[in-house]
Amino acid sequence: QQQHSKQQRPSAISTSPTMHRRTAASSTSSKVSASRERRARRGGGKANGGGIRNANGHLHLPTHHSSRHPKDDNGLMGMGKRIIVLMIGLVFVCFVLIWAAALFHVASNSEDGGGDNGKRGKLLGRVKNGLGRMRNGKSKYQSEPIVAPRAADDGSPYTLEALDNNPYLGWQPPLVPSPLGASFSWRECFKADPTSDGTDQPAGCRENPSELGVAPSVEKGWVPDVTMIRTMMMHGKDVNGNPFPPPLSTELCEPIGVTGGKHGDSNKECLEQSMIRPTGALNSTTVTIRPSNHYGAEDSKNGDEDSIVVPAPRLMCLVYTMADAHANRIRAMRETWAGGCDGFLAFSTESDPRLPVVSLEHEGPE
């Protein structure tokens, strides 16, 4: 028995570790499984790829509900609110536009006296037809035609009949300001070549051809309106209500040389030595005659006591020029002294009803 026991001991000793390992493995597997279950509960059922494995290693996937996430509902609600706000904004804009249109309609009726809508339509039709005959469209520089003249009131000369006869009555070129603003000096305009057509002149000099635009074409037998400038000056405004003649800087009254210097102004010296004095405003219908207005006469010691006031004579002023001088020289005359003449007309190589300028046909070179 002892020998048999001794022979059995090694077998018992060799068997004991195997059973111990199996028992430990089973205990470890149970602990791991329990740990996995606890982690799965804490992680919202997303452990092990979103499932829970049991003690046998089988994967149990979590149950998914068909309802949307609360965030999705919040997104849809936010989009719906934005759509509602956008619709309210569109309704408000439409309401403002309708309100503005109603105010414009009421103001137009009150201005026209409530019964001149037909006349306004007739006026626009006549002006549009007249401008259509005169527009040629050969250049990007197009003059701005009269398309909506204001109603004739307060003694305005721009009546239906007057604009029908001359669609450019009351027209003047746009004033393009200098980018230098208040620091702009008119002396810069005298530095250009005297023979230049004005294309090299800076903005503010009122001499660039692009500001005047292309001359509208005229029909054969066209008769210029020589009283146009005088009519505009007597009214003091153009058809759009802007001042006419346009205001000028007092810097132009200073001595200005040929190239813009402060010396060598022979024109100003000539006027001063010839004793030429103004006899009244350009839009005056009377003139004041003084003995000192004559060449060689001395200023009267009695002041205005020796002067007399008489009706202004009627003057017709005519000049001869070239087409390349329309945008600078003729425009300068138009915006200064031309309105003091009862009639003003320039003869040139090209007609322009806005200035007015008429072309003279002749044989041979100019």
* 295 vs 360 pLDDT, higher one: 360
Q: CA-to-CA distance for 155 and 120, rounded, in angstroms? A: 18
78-92, 147-161, 224-238: which range is least confident on average?
Answer: 147-161
Average pLDDT over residues 279-296: 78
Q: What is the mean pLDDT of residues 183-193?
A: 90
Residue 317 contacts residue 343 (beta carbons within 8 Å): yes
84 three-state secondary structure:
helix
CA gap 38, 45 in Å, rounded = 10
For residue 327, give the DSSP letter.
I
* Choice among 19-33, 66-80, 173-187, 275-289 with the minimum mean pLDDT: 19-33
Average of pLDDT values for 252-271? Answer: 90
Among 30-39, 214-223, 287-296, 351-360, the range scoring the smallest mean pLDDT is 30-39
pLDDT, one tens digit per residue, over 6-16 is: 444 444 444 44
Task: Pick 297 or 265 by higher pLDDT.
Answer: 265
Distance CA(117)–CA(262), nearest Å, equals 57
Question: 2 pLDDT exceeds 60?
Answer: no
In 3D, which of 226, 235, 234, 240 has the Cα closest to residue 156? 235
- Indicate the pLDDT class of residue 199, thresholds 50, 70 and 90: confident
pLDDT score recorded for residue 27: 56
- Cα 304 to chain centroid distance, Å, stands at 51
pLDDT at 271: 84
Does residue 206 surpass a pLDDT of 80? yes
Q: How does strand 52-53 pair with strand 286-289?
A: unpaired
pLDDT at 223: 94
Q: Is the pLDDT of residue 96 over 70?
A: yes
Binning pLDDT at 50, 70 and 90, where does residue 95 land?
confident
Residue 297 DSSP SS3:
coil
The predicted structure's pLDDT at residue 311: 93
Q: What is the pTM of this model?
A: 0.56
- Quote the pLDDT of residue 125: 47
* Lowest pLDDT segment from 53-67, 89-103, 165-179: 53-67
The H or E element that residue 320 is part of is: strand 316-320
- Candidates 67, 36, 79, 70; CA nearest to 54 is 36
Strands 308-311 and 316-320: unpaired
3-state secondary structure 41-62: HHCCCCHHHHCEECCCCCEECC
The model's confidence at residue 101, banded by pLDDT at 50, 70 and 90, is confident
Q: Which pairs count as long-range contacts for 185-192, CB under 8 Å and 24+ apart, including other chains?
A: 185/251, 186/249, 186/251, 186/252, 186/256, 187/251, 187/256, 187/260, 187/261, 188/260, 189/260, 190/256, 190/257, 190/258, 190/259, 190/260, 191/259, 191/260
